[in-house]
Amino acid sequence: MATDSLPPSAPPRTSPFLTPGSHSSASSLSILHLRRDQHTPVILQPSSSPSDGYIEGPVTNTRFGSFPHSTLINQPWGSQIRASEVDTGSRGRKGWEGKGKKRKRGSDEIADEVRPETEEEVEGTRKAIKTSATGFVHILSPTPELWTSSLPHRTQVVYTPDYSYILHRLRARPGSVIIEAGAGSGSFTHAAARAVFDGYPALSIQDEGIQTNASAEPALPGKQNGKVYSFEFHEQRCTALQSEIKDHGLEGIVELTHRDVCTEGFTISNSPPIHASAIFLDLPAPWLALKHLTRRIRRKSLDPSANPEPTTPLTPNPVLHPSLPIHICTFSPCIEQVTRTISTLRSHGWLDISMVELSAKKIETRRERVGLQEEGLRGVNASAANVEEAVERLREVEGRTRWFHEMEARKEKEQEQERDGAEAKKDGEPDDMVKGEMEKENDTVNGKEKEKYTSKASRLASIASRLPTRKLYKEGRLVHRPEPELKMHTSYLVFAIFPREWSDEDEKEAERVWGGREAADRRGGVEEGGELGGSGGGRKEEKRMSKRQRRKEAKRRKDADGGKVEVDGEKTDVESRGN
Amino acid sequence: MRDLIRPDTFVGLRLPSDAIQVVRVVPNTSISIGKYGSFYANHIIGRPYHLTFEVLDKSDTSPAQSGLRIVSASELYADLRDGEASTPSESNDLGVAEGNSGVEYELVGEDGEVVLRTNRAIIDDSSTQTMTMAQIEALKAECTGSGRDLIQKILGSHIALDQKTAFALAKYTLRKTKKYLRSFTVLPVDVPLLAHWILTDKEPIKIMELREETLALMGSLLNLHCTAIHSEPNGHGSGIGSGRWLLIDETSGLLAASTAEKIGVLNQPKALVPSIVNDEHEQANSDADDTATASHSIAQPFKPPRIHSSSSLAYLNTITVIHANSQPNLSLLKYFEFDHANPSPSHPLCRHLKTLSWLQLLAPEDDLAYTEPDTFPNETIQSWKSGRRGNYYRKRRRWERIKSIVDETRAGGFDGLMIATGMDLATVLHHTVPLLRGGAQVVIYSPTVEPLVEISDYYSLGRRTAFITDPPEPGSMPTEDFPLDPTLLLAATIHTVKCRPWQVLPGRTHPLMTGRGSSEGYIFTATRVLPAEGKIEARGNFKRRRVNDGNGSRGSEIVEQTLEPIGRELGEGDGTNIS
């Protein structure tokens, strides 16, 4: 990977995934689109960085040509970039420095043609790069989709249809906090980061000296930016993903921890509570992690051997958001895992449990051309397009056969006659006349037949010659069908919801504020009667009164009670203005 | 927003039959849930979402209103425990109000051991249920509770109940439960719920039968995400903002709502309890935008300061909707407290949602709203009556808003285009694709595949090659052969995704027997690219074949970077060094 040679300078300040800007830039990830479904992620490096022996500076070689990074940097996203002439041959060898020079002297002409300014090895030379005659790529800003299709696979990957549906069901939105366990290759990590992103955390940005503004600054206490807490128990994968996160500028948004969540849980020591509202478990045994996701936990005792005393009070779990419903998704390929997970979810009190599987496919479209005019062309069906064409071709074949037989018969006759002629030579002249007539007849027949029945070779030639004038892109029937290789099964998705904790006291309080059953009873009716049990309901009623109504009300009271209530009336007015 | 049920918001009620009903929770009113009865709105206001309530007996305290009881998770799963290894329940930690009815489906519980029973002895006969319809109706009338005892009675009067297999019994119980149990679950109204509800219960045609999983995938493929303010060294500098999404939405606003949700501008910052507000950030964000737009609009004359907040448009994270009628149909936004005809200035969509008609986009001069109203000197305005003055300012405000939207849209540079329309897609794309920035994604939804197949044929490789080899006159587009410029979009692909729900119950796990058919839902995606100037030739085709083809090479082989391996055929580069 190009990431290895990234200079140890500052990490990218912002993520090209989230705020790509309008142009590609140095030290930042971009994706080279080679062909449909074939992408190469490249971290563009400035010419000054180690170039691996290329005189053009860092170069990315693809099967469609070589691309010095200087031709890729600062291009508008989506640009088509031409390949450049790069000498990839000599630099890879051992001791390139010496041998390459020697060789170059031997083949000066070619070398000069390829790189006219070889002599000036320093900075300035690198801009003079010759464009190649053929080959191109498109340079695209990275998206989680492109990354998913091009990332280095370390594990089974969560693909786009799955992760988009999961994030949709998990209600991952800008500002959400999501836990992902089993980060794997990082496909879901990137998609989740995009879904929850709502600004870079202030700290890292200030470090970089970028002008910050209100949206990027969690200045409001208690308000956290959207964040992905990611866990991976495989150390190597974790390290690889961590460096990708850094290279992709996602450091403030994704927090990766190396840990087995099934045994150690999700709590991160020495950091603020996670308060996640969405959880994604891509683990071999997700049910083992669920015990760490209850609303209340017993505080861990320092001595691991001692059982937590039953008297220890349960405290709210810092991993889960205290007031939001928690949405969970587990991702398991086998049905046995699903049944076990669901049974554990039920026993832990998760609600709305459902399981689905997704089947996604891509559809190819093409022009399907059928007909005899396609004979000899590649990749088309050269059978008759319809009955008429078939009959015509059959007639032609039939005719040719008949002609052949006739010719045979004629030849035989000729030979016979010749024999006869030889026998009857003595008889005199008339034979010559007959022979001449026969030949004449033969010629005419041949000519006519030749006209009518062309040989296969000449037919193919005429088909080929007609080809350039045909508009193949609009001929034939437009058809569609699924791509040749389908993903029949990815995994089963189990979803569940953990509602907010709701105690009897909470219920009583809500009843008091909003008027529970008792209040309703006291009211007796539905719509009539403004009196409501509880201050909240009363406040509400008051609010709904318009200014005019209030004035009227005040006047009514004034009329009824005389001077004393005037104060009241004024007071109401003041209040209403305050509103 | 998602923590507690607020007064005057829409909520979804999931009934035992799995049908969803969306209602507005107006305080002090009664909410009817059809045959399941009715309840008093204040009984759910201020409570958390996702709880299940049981409609209680109305006879015991109040004659008019029935109360509600929160059903705990352990109770909900009571009839599922058989066959499962009973795990120590942690649901007590939940702290929800424990149920006191104690009604259990004992018949189910007892049947656990009778596994091998089959249905060979069962005679299909409706006489097995001894209760008649009239009897059940009568029972229903006198039964006032949640309906559990009624279900119990119905089960009890089934004479062949003991012959049923465990599976059949479970099914029978479930069926009766769905029919007679009087309970409901309160769900927050968000885009996933809304999409689900309209598709299954309301009017699928209104949203073009857009499935949830399709909607989710569209968002991902579009690379929809929130954009935070950042310094952009290579920025457009045109002041048109970033994070701009262009929509053609004929799904009554579902696409707009989904987009808004994913970029974080859908929900109004409003607090029931002032301490927990999810949207404070958004408030801050819009304040920041205000300053940005304010400085932008200072130059405009006759702009009274009080107009500022309502007329200024957001700069970041905006949605632009192009509509075919004079007014857009965004009726579904009402479920998010947004009325397009009469937007409340505090709603984020008021500033982040911009709409314009096709006429305004293509020929703004022909639209009256785009022509500047007459201006008057300040003194004249001051001399007017307040009504006329208000009118004058309102007109100017409207014009300013429309003009700024139209100009900004025509300037292009959008980050993505999402389309769901019945219009001819070729004409839509012809006018909208050029408005996208390079690298932006185009996503089109269609309930049927044919329109998308047609479009992807317009962007086929063969057509693009023909276009490049022999481009039509500039300005003559669209031509018959090229309804769209095939060089502007790359990698046109059609996706389809389908979600298959499963039933997961102990020992009875299988995909659901029936599901929604009708439209499958297809998505077209492509990437907007900027073609290089001049002729460009691809690499990767065998030279040999080109010679063979003789008379002009096959179109698709010039530009296409063909599937054949190139390897050593190329003079240079080994084509394998992919970094």
Interface of B with A in 427-446 (CB under 8 A): 437-441
Q: What is the pLDDT of residue B207?
A: 94
Predicted local confidence at residue B482, as pLDDT: 92
Q: Which chain A residues have a beta carbon less than 8 Å from that of B285?
A: 214-215
CB atoms within 10 A of CB A417: 15
Encoded tokens for B461: 């490789």
Q: Determine which of B556, B561, B563 to mutate to test the interface with A (most A C-beta atoms within 10 Å).
A: B561
Contact A215 B47 (CB under 8 A): no
Structural domains in chain A, sorted by start: 2-146 (3.10.330.20), 152-302+311-357 (3.40.50.150), 366-482 (no CATH), 507-578 (no CATH)
Residue in the block written with tokens 């046109």: B492
Chain B partners of A63 at a C-beta cutoff of 8 Å? 539-540, 566, 573, 575-576, 578
Q: Do A527 and B530 make contact, defined as CB atoms within 8 angstroms?
A: no
Token representation of residue A118: 């070889």
Q: Do B49 and A500 touch (CB under 8 A)?
A: yes
| Minimum distance, in Å, between the CA of residue A273 and any CA atom of chain B | 16
From A316's Cα to the closest Cα of chain B, the distance in A is 10
Which residue in A297, A299, A499 sits closest to B93, CA to CA? A297
- Best probe of the B interface among A29, A130, A176, A343, by most B CBs < 10 A, is A343
Beta bridge partners of A80: A138
Nearest by CB: B439 against A78, A219, A361: A78
Chain A residues close to B3, C-beta within 8 Å = 323-324, 500
Q: What pLDDT, on a 0 to 100 scale, did the predictor assign at position B539?
A: 74
A559's enclosing H/E stretch is helix A547-561
Candidate from A22, A62, A473 with C-beta closest to B234: A22
Measure the CA–CA gap between B456 and B439, rounded to whole angstroms. 18
**Chain A within 8 Å of B497 (Cβ-Cβ)?**
yes
Q: Is B216 on the interface with A (CB under 8 A)?
A: yes
The dihedral of CA B117, B119, B122, B125: what is its sign?
positive
Q: Which two tokens stand for residue B317?
A: 């994270």
How far off is chain B from A80, nearest CA to CA, in Å?
5
What does the angle CA A448 – CA A449 – CA A455 come to, to the nearest 5 degrees? 130
Residue numbers in A near B576 (CB within 8 A): 61, 63
Q: Which residues of A touch B538 (CB under 8 A)?
A: 64, 134-136
* One pLDDT digit (tens) per residue for chain A, 579 residues: 333 333 444 444 688 999 888 889 888 899 999 988 889 999 998 877 766 677 778 888 888 888 989 889 999 999 999 998 887 666 554 444 443 343 433 344 333 333 433 444 444 444 467 888 888 999 999 999 999 999 988 888 999 999 999 999 999 999 999 999 999 899 999 999 999 998 888 644 443 333 333 333 333 444 678 999 999 999 999 999 999 999 999 988 999 999 999 999 998 887 888 899 999 999 999 999 999 998 888 765 445 455 555 556 778 888 999 889 999 999 999 999 999 999 999 989 899 999 999 999 999 999 988 888 888 887 777 888 899 999 988 988 888 888 888 889 999 988 888 887 777 665 555 555 555 555 555 555 555 555 556 677 888 888 888 888 888 888 889 999 999 888 889 999 999 999 988 888 888 888 888 875 444 444 444 433 333 333 333 344 444 445 556 566 566 655 555 444 343 434 434 333 433
From the list A186, A488, A190, the residue with the least C-alpha distance to A358 is A488
Tens digit of pLDDT at every position of chain B (579 positions): 467 898 889 999 999 888 999 999 999 888 988 888 888 888 889 899 998 888 876 545 544 455 788 888 777 777 665 444 333 333 333 333 333 333 333 333 344 443 445 566 666 666 667 777 787 777 776 665 667 777 777 777 777 777 676 677 777 777 777 777 788 999 999 999 999 999 988 889 999 999 999 999 999 999 999 988 654 433 444 456 788 999 999 999 999 999 999 999 988 765 433 333 333 344 444 444 443 333 333 333 333 434 443 457 888 899 999 999 989 999 999 999 898 888 888 889 998 999 999 999 999 999 888 988 888 888 888 888 889 888 898 899 889 999 999 999 999 999 999 999 999 999 999 999 999 999 999 999 999 999 999 999 999 998 998 998 888 888 888 888 899 999 999 999 999 999 999 998 877 889 999 888 888 899 999 999 999 887 777 776 544 444 333 343 333 333 344 333 333 333 333 333 223
* CB A342 within 8 Å of CB A494: yes
Cα distance from A274 to chain B (closest Cα, Å)? Answer: 16
pLDDT on residue B225? 93
* Nearest CA-CA distance, residue B483 and chain A, Å: 12
A537·B28 Cβ contact <8 A: yes
| pLDDT score recorded for residue A428 | 55
Contact A74, A139 (CB under 8 A): no
Residues of B in contact with A363 (CB under 8 A): 449, 453, 493-496, 522
For B3, the closest of A60, A324, A364 (CB atoms) is A324
- CB–CB of B481 and A22 under 8 A? no
Please report the pLDDT score of residue A101 as a whole number.
Answer: 41
At A438, give phi and psi (nearest 5°): -60, -45
Which residues on A lie below 8 Å from B228 (Cβ)?
18-19, 197-200, 215-216
Beta strand spans in A126-276 (E): 131-140, 177-181, 227-232, 254-258
Q: Which of B457, B496, B428, B25 is nearest to B221 (CA)?
A: B496
Cα A46 to Cα B543: distance, rounded to the nearest angstrom: 35
CATH of B191-227+241-270+310-367+386-526, one of 3.40.640.10, 3.40.50.300, 3.40.50.150, 3.40.50.11540: 3.40.50.150
CB atoms inside a 10 Å sphere around CB B362: 12
| Buried-exposed string A79-107: b where 16+ CB fall within 10 A, e elsewhere | bbbbbbbbbbebbeeeeeeeebeeebeee
The answer to whether B464 touches A102, Cβ cutoff 8 Å, is no
What is the length of chain A?
579
Question: How many Å apart are CA B108 and CA B84, to the nearest integer?
Answer: 13
The CA distance from B24 to B12, in Å, is 9
B476 phi and psi, to 5 degrees? -90, -5
Kindly report the backbone phi and psi dihedral angles of residue A488, in degrees, each rounded to the nearest multiple of 5, phi listed first. Answer: -75, -35
Chain A CB contacts of B199 under 8 Å are: none
What is the model's pLDDT at position B260? 95
Residue extents of the structural domains in chain B: 10-84+96-188, 191-227+241-270+310-367+386-526, 537-579
The region that residue B302 occupies, defined by phi over 0 for left and psi between -120 and 50 for alpha, beta otherwise, is left
Task: Flag if B538 and A42 touch (Cβ within 8 Å).
Answer: no
- Paired with B12 in beta bridges are B22, B187
Report CB contact under 8 Å: A164, B220. yes
- Among the partner-chain residues A61, A163, A365, the one whose CB lies closest to the CB of B456 is A365
CB contact (8 A) between residue A80 and residue B530: yes
By C-alpha distance, which of B520, B514, B517, B513 is closest to B494? B520
User: Is the Cβ pair B281, A175 closer than 8 Å?
Assistant: yes
Strands (E), B324-435: 353-357, 414-420
- Do A196 and A228 meet the contact criterion of CB atoms below 8 Å apart? yes
Q: Does B377 sit behind a cis peptide bond, omega within 30 degrees of 0 on the bond before it?
A: no
Residue A115, phi-psi category: left (phi > 0), alpha (psi -120 to 50), beta (remainder)? beta
Question: What whole-number distance in Å separates Cα of residue B351 and Cα of residue B459?
Answer: 36
Res A133: pLDDT? 80
Question: Read out DSSP for B331-363?
Answer: GGGGGGT--TTS--TTSHHHHHEEEEEHHHHH-
Q: Which position has the token pair 């990315």?
A: A60
Q: Give the pLDDT score at B422.
A: 93
Is B579–A323 a contact, with Cβ atoms under 8 angstroms apart? no
Which tokens go with A261?
Answer: 């969540």
Residue in B with minimal Cα distance to A43 = B579
* CA-closest candidate to residue A330, choices A318, A348, A314: A348
